[in-house]
Amino acid sequence: MVAKRTSKANVTKDNLLHYYREMLLIRRFEEKAGQLYGMGLIGGFCHLYIGQEAVVVGLEAAAEKGDKRVTSYRDHGHMLACGMEANGVMAELTGRSGGYSKGKGGSMHMFSKEKHFYGGHGIVGAQVPIGAGLAFADKYLGNGRVTFAYFGDGAANQGQVYETFNMAALWDLPVVFVIENNQYAMG
């Protein structure tokens, strides 16, 4: 039996327009990053977040001030959604000192303590235990914060991911594990 909805959604037209603009910003940013990568202006790798914009925008809508996030190498959208400036993210991608990691992290290794963004990580699944560690710290401090640990479907078969799920459950950690099925898994 399906319950009948009795109240309206707790979202305004302005909220919806804001979410749309955030998704559009991420999409346009990624399109431009893809262009620059193709022109050789972004060194190293550049994994795009195109098609996943709604995931991070929706979860950021639920996040509260001080909540943390950690992700893999498809991280540009996460940075923009948590409030990092597009100019700073692009400066990082293009190796300029105005970037969030002073131009040394590139596409996969950005960080912002101020925005509680604890990086994109290049090792498949490695960010998941880091996310649990961030959540453990918050539980220890008793500050009521939550950590969002994002990973792709390709990381879902990594041993450390399942070990982390077990530890997070046993220790009742304030962590949300987000599997983004981008269908890029290699195996």
Tokens of 32: 């431009």
pLDDT of residue 10: 84
Handedness of CA 180, 57, 44, 32 (dihedral sign): positive
The pLDDT score that the predictor gives to residue 125 is: 86
Q: What is the pTM of this model?
A: 0.88
E strand residue ranges, 34-124: 68-71, 117-120
Q: Which domains occur in the chain, in start order? A: 13-180 (3.40.50.970)
pLDDT at 187: 53
- Judge whether residue 1 has pLDDT over 70: no
Query: pLDDT digit string (tens) for 92-125?
Result: 999 999 998 898 888 888 888 899 999 888 788 8
- At 108, is the secondary structure helix, strand, or coil? coil
152/165: higher pLDDT: 165
Task: Determine the Cα–Cα distance for residues 150 and 70; give it in Å rounded to an integer.
Answer: 6
Higher pLDDT pick, 21 / 109? 21
Summarize the confidence of residues 130-142 as an average pLDDT. Answer: 97
pLDDT at 178: 95
pLDDT of residue 143 exceeding 90: yes
Instruction: Output the pLDDT for position 110.
Output: 83
Q: Which residue has the tokens 């039996």?
A: 1
